[in-house]
Structure 1
Amino acid sequence: MNTIQKKIWMLAMVILFIMAVIWLALTYYNQKTQNQYNDILQRYLSMNEVTSSSQQVITDLNNYLLKPTLANLEQVNGSQKKIRNVKKEVHDLINAENEFALTNYMNLIDSFIETTDRSLMFQSVEETEASTKEFTEATRISKYISEMTLTLIDTELKTYDRFYRGIIKQSAELKKLGIWLLLLITVLLLMFTYWISLTITRPVHQLTKAANELSKGRFDLQIKVVSNDEISFLAKTFDHMRININNLISEIQHKAQLEHELQQNKLLLQESQLRSLQSQINPHFLFNTLNTLSKKAYLDGAEETSDLLVSVAGLLRYNLRRLDRSVTLYEEVIVLRQYMEIQKARFTDRLEFHSEIDESCMHIEIPGLTLQPIVENAVIHAIEPEVDGGSIWFRIKDGIEWVTIEIEDDGKGMAEEKIKQILSEQPEQSEGHSTGIGFSNVVKRLRLFFGFEDVIDIVSMEGSGTKVRLKIPKIRRIENNDETPNCR
């Protein structure tokens, strides 16, 4: 099976091969032309170097004749050595066409060197006149060398004129060839690239079209892609995924239908439970309350009785509201105070109620009918059985992240089994409660409302009273992870 990577590598190798062939051909041609051009230029430079060297020898020799010092003599010897080296370079330029001219040119250089040697020899034996004569002859030969150099260069130019014109013509032809070759290679590469890209993009387009159909929810269409590379495997995998998703959607729809029906049944059950709780006003409580009111009306005037009736009415009105809605601590404390007014009227001096409330946290939300059932539980189990009654302490304390609510009594306390039963939310007898809502029901609603188990704690020992502590977070974390500030 051909892979996309192989196709891309094949395209890259073809391009590199064509570029390498073109580069080698151009490099070979340029190098050959450059070598020929360098050879011709070297001939001109060598001939021109003869003229320069001969003139330098004349200059140095003149300086020595005027001032025959050792330094000037060394200058003359150095110049002569240089012209001898240049003569060797000229010898290498001899060919069939210029052999005669260059031979005469080299003989002229030899005559020049011999004349300068004789001038130095006469100067060394202090024959000044003979030395000057030889110097004059050397100067004349130097001029001949210059003139002959120009003649040879002119001859070389005429000889290589055709070569220069050939280079110019070849460059023009090579330029045209390069343009046509570039166009041909471009067309071939475009065709080859289009073929390669088509073998890649056509399956991708088919796969994209299938994906669009899936995005529209059409999971019943089969995905088929004609290809011999990885995209074919991808299409098959994609088709398997389509089948799995289609099966999963059918399963999810079936489960969703079942869950919807279950949720509806749950909601109906909760509504019926709430209505049942709201309707459970204990007759025994109403009897005791009305009996207390009748005795109070008999013993006292109508004003105090009226206040007591207002508290009862407010308590009943609050108890009949929906339990699935949250209320503030402020509302709960008002109802708790109304309830305690009724109980204090009932128990008189047998009941002492102490409260310490931090007013800054009265806006925290809690489930409705939370505090009254807990305090009522303390009244029923700690105050009512005792002949001398007892005391109840109610505290609201502000913390950094939590608000603590404490309800404490000095009754006989609870057994460990009873505490476990309440905290495990096991149903209990709520007989005697004004609302019919027991302690375990309060625990359950608090945990559901705040979303964690550690919202309530009960500390009690038999014979030493009971303390119920509620730990209410200032920021309530709801199931959808939204956060609603409750205090400050």
Structure 2
Amino acid sequence: MNTIQKKIWTLVAVVLFIMVAIWIALTYYNQKTQDQYNGILQRYLRMNEVTNASQQTIASLNNYLLSPNEINLTQLDRSKRQLRSARVGVLDLRNGENDLTVTSYMNLIDSLIETTDRSVMFQSEKESEDSTKAFAEATRISKYISEMTLTLLDTELKTYDRFYRNIIEQSTDLKKFGIWMLLSITLLLLLSTYWFSLSITRPVLKLTQAARELSRGRFDLQVEVSSNDEIAFLAKMFERMRVNINNLILEIQQKAQLEHELQQSKLLLQESQLRSLQSQINPHFLFNTLDTLSKKAYLEGAEETSDLLANVAGLLRYNLKRLDRSVTLYEEVKVLRQYMEIQRTRFTDRLRFETEIDETCLGAKIPGLTLQPIIENAVIHAVEPEEDGGTIVFRIRDEGERVAVEIADDGPGMPEHKIRQILEEHAVDTEGHSTGIGFSNVVRRLRLFYGREDVIDIGSGAERGTKVILRLPKTRRLELEDEAADRR
């Protein structure tokens, strides 16, 4: 049950969530823009680093040529390493627009390093004039590098000019987005607050109106509150009090008419019994008539008609037996085959009946007329409505202390609420078409016969058929109690 306090915390959580979401979105956008700025700045710094490294290399080379000692040579090597490192960074500057320029730029760096090495070599070989020429060439290359750096910077500025303008436009759009977001959040909070207030005030108003009607003696009006908090609990208790008072009033009224209704019921029962006797015919006359028709059809060559009449006679004779006595599975299977022969005559190829029967289980006891209503239900709902008919599978197998009887079809399936009603025996049980026994009646008779609830299970689903499984104990509970009494 949701409490009012929980609703308040939910509203607070929604507001915090919206605020956090906006903060994350703005932070992400700012971080993305900052990363782009940093990327561009790093490109500029790398080009500037190349210029600085080339100038530092020329300065170190000049110092070495003026004073060729180990310290100046070490400083020159360090400058060349910095220049090579800067050259590696230039690779990240390459794109489709400056590919040729960057290639020339890197070649100039390689030429500067090579010329510097050549000047050092001439100096070490005491060839001062060649060393001086190499130094002059290195100085000229360094100037070219500085000029090309400026050229690349100019190209980069032109390339990212549109980017800068987009950032300015995005900043303007972000301000507009922030205004609209503020208005949207304000509207959302107003709607949430209105909904929250209604969730409290509306149930209270309904409860107040119900109390006013009760005070006027209107005990027949149901108290309905749609909330699920403490107010709903109060309404439920209020409704229970109204029902109890109304039941007391109805009970007083019903007691005044009870004797009259009992008399009327007796009269109706007597009339029903009389009509039932009037509608009965002599079963022996009917059986003899059907047997005569069967033999006459056989003599006339209509063997299928003869078999059909024989099956009808056998089925009718079996169905007119008392339902309160037990039969064997053998008898039930025998009459079931007769019933299916009749149905196959009706549906022809549209009805497919498959059996897997363990003959050792046919001695088990079962209430009479148990299997036929279940099979008939499958024929009516799984075979008859379908244009192509359907398949019914009937199996009997041994499961140790029980016999499993399985009846499955490939029809449209049975709704879950219908299965629950049948198993809980809450369904309004309509009579069967041929036996007068409905599905729920079969369930009740099985449970009474064996004295336990777990004798039937129904499995079904949309478009995957229905399966009814009977798990019949080989020994009834009453028989076990009788054996125990005999032993005592």
Bin the TM-score by the shorter chain. 0.3 to 0.5
The structure with higher relative contact order (CA 8 Å, sep 6+) is 1
TM-score (normalised: structure 1): 0.41
Higher-Rg member (1/2):
1
TM-score (normalised: structure 2): 0.41
